[in-house]
Amino acid sequence: MAAQLPFVVRALRLEADDVMSVELAPEDGRAVPAWTPGAHVDLVVGDGTTRQYSLCGDPGATVLRIAVLREQAGRGGSAWVHDRLRPGDRVRLGGPRNHFALEPAPEYLFVAGGIGITPLLPMLAQARARGVAWRLHYFGRARQRMAFLGELAPYGGRVRVHPSPEGSAPPLDGLVDGLPPGGLVYACGPQRLLDGLRAAMAAAGREDRLRTEHFAAPAGADQGERGAFTVRLERSGIEVRVPAGRSALDVLTEAGAEILSDCHEGICGSCETRVLSGAVDHRDHVLTPQERAAGDCMMPCVSRAAGDRLVLDL
């Protein structure tokens, strides 16, 4: 389980309508944990549950910065940040973790939808530092709802801002035209945008060049057989049977294992657990194909054993 450490809220700033940035400094003079663009942290919110937020500041800074969209239909975590959190408050953070890191490429196309700009923001600086060409297309419902436009302004013509009213399809035609072989597309935003982009790239035969971070599990995900299997928790010496139709996370938590969790849909990465042996039937949307192939970690909220038995580092 990732450790949760104490931080102090240094500053809160309204970056756009319903988008608040939060700067967090480690308590007790600890150094800021090292992180790379694309990483996120787990913020423990008012009711003790966690939420994942991408780091959107400078990896060299002495504070961590996140930005939180107030979700009108959310579970209350974002409203707690907006309405309750104040400078000087103490919070606990897990992570940072990164399943959306910038792979080397000769050119990047970044595509952001709304608050999906957050993981991409530090990637732009990283791409520039690498001397690699890049472009950003930033979609949102209206300019006043789109955070960090001021920070993007110095990038000039590399950034295209597309305010598009709710309900209208984002103009994705031709977006990937001109991307050289080996170029990569990094996208984060609402599922509709990611689905449209995936379809456009599939039509161009370039779906393998797309890297995404999800806000929600894609429709139709996790539809496979959910058979029973046995899990051994190596450090605790416990062995449990996960019945068909139940998640390993639920069964292991009931058995006393301490595993962070949030989304229960395989998209946030909170429940990442080390696998010591056994083949995994990966059903998450976090791990890259390479990480899946390595077989040394899994998201037990959705993933299962490919065989009859797994041994976990718990």
Q: Which residues bind ligand FES (CB under 6 A)?
A: 261-264, 266-271, 284, 286, 299, 301
Chain mean position to CA 22: 17
- Give the nearest distance from C-beta 49 to ligand FES in angstroms: 11
CA 134/CA 180 separation, integer angstroms = 11
Which residue lies nearer to ligand FES by CB, 152 or 301?
301
Which residue lies nearer to ligand FES by CB, 49 or 164?
49
- Give the nearest distance from C-beta 302 to ligand FES in angstroms: 7
- Give the nearest distance from C-beta 275 to ligand FES in angstroms: 14
CA 245/CA 115 separation, integer angstroms = 34
**CB-CB contact of 138 with 112 (8 Å):** yes
Return the SS3 of 155: helix
Return the SS3 of 184: strand
Return the structure tokens found at 124.
Answer: 């732009």
**CB-CB contact of 180 with 164 (8 Å):** no
CA 41/CA 24 separation, integer angstroms = 11
- Give the nearest distance from C-beta 110 to ligand FES in angstroms: 24
Which residue lies nearer to ligand FES by CB, 38 or 269?
269
Which residue lies nearer to ligand FES by CB, 71 or 151?
71
Return the structure tokens found at 172.
Answer: 């994705």
- Give the nearest distance from C-beta 252 to ligand FES in angstroms: 12
Which residue lies nearer to ligand FES by CB, 233 or 271?
271
Strand order of the sheet with strand 50-54?
A: 50-54, 40-44, 90-97, 4-16, 19-26, 64-69
- Give the nearest distance from C-beta 292 to ligand FES in angstroms: 14
Which residue lies nearer to ligand FES by CB, 158 or 226?
226
**CB-CB contact of 117 with 148 (8 Å):** yes
